[in-house]
């Protein structure tokens, strides 16, 4: 089973992904990206960090299940071979999710939209940057993400198998258990 997590920036998708991988036997599908690593990120664990030319080569070879372009021309994508078998979890954009549905077997994909209110998402972004390091560039990034996410996720609840809320104060274990219980019922 492949669990696909979708949600706006700061909704907690990566936290849920880590919980499923660390404590519930799921393997992360590691995406490729052309962006630079953030502090603490490890190549091959968090992402495969690559350059624009290498990414273009993978795209032209037809080996990507999905890809998407973010602000500052940053590309993200994952391999078709990662969606073939096993219990895996991946964070995707709605566009990436739709590409995976088109390019990979659909019978083993369970999709979850993770929602959080705007205040929670902004707080998480600031916490990730560090309150002492947060600057105008980060403020602009939050504004860009919020604007992009509004249109990108509008109406997506009609395309997914489950919608979960993950606001400030929500116990991540409750969210993960809801995902796992619904996924089990879905596959019966």
CB 110 within 8 A of CB 186: yes
Q: What does the pLDDT look like over 13-29, one tens digit per residue? A: 999 999 999 999 999 99
How buried is 170 (Cβ within 10 angstroms: 0-12 exposed, 13-18 middle, 19+ buried)?
middle
pTM: 0.84
Q: What does the pLDDT look like over 104-129, one tens digit per residue? A: 876 789 999 999 888 787 787 777 77
Q: Where are the beta strands (DSSP E) in the chain?
A: 2-6, 27-28, 32-33, 48-49, 64-69, 75-79, 88-91, 109-115, 162-165
Question: What CA–CA distance (Å, rounded) separates 115 from 93?
Answer: 13
Question: What CA–CA distance (Å, rounded) separates 122 from 149?
Answer: 13
Residues in the chain: 188
Question: What CA–CA distance (Å, rounded) separates 26 from 3?
Answer: 9
64: pLDDT strictly greater than 90? yes
**Residue 188 banded pLDDT, cuts 50, 70, 90:** low
Architecture of the structural domain at 2-186: 3-Layer(aba) Sandwich (3.40)
């Amino acid at each position: 089973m492949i669990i696909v997590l979708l949600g706006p920036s700061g909704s907690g998708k990566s936290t849920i992904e880590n919980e499923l991988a660390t404590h519930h036997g799921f393997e992360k599908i590691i995406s490729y990206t052309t962006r630079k690593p953030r502090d603490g990120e490890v190549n091959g664990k968090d992402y495969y960090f690559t350059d624009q030319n290498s990414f273009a080569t993978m795209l032209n070879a037809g080996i990507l299940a999905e890809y998407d372009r973010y602000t500052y021309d940053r590309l993200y994508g994952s391999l078709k071979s990662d969606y073939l078998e096993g219990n895996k979890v991946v964070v995707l954009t709605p566009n990436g999710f739709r590409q995976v549905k088109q390019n990979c077997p659909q019978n083993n994909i369970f999709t979850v939209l993770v929602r959080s209110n705007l205040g929670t998402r902004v707080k998480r972004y600031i916490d990730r940057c560090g309150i002492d390091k947060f600057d105008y560039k980060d403020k602009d990034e939050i504004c860009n993400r919020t604007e992009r996410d509004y249109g990108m996720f509008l109406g997506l609840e009609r395309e997914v198998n489950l919608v979960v809320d993950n606001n400030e104060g929500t116990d991540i274990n409750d969210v993960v258990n809801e995902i796992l219980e619904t996924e089990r019922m879905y596959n019966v």
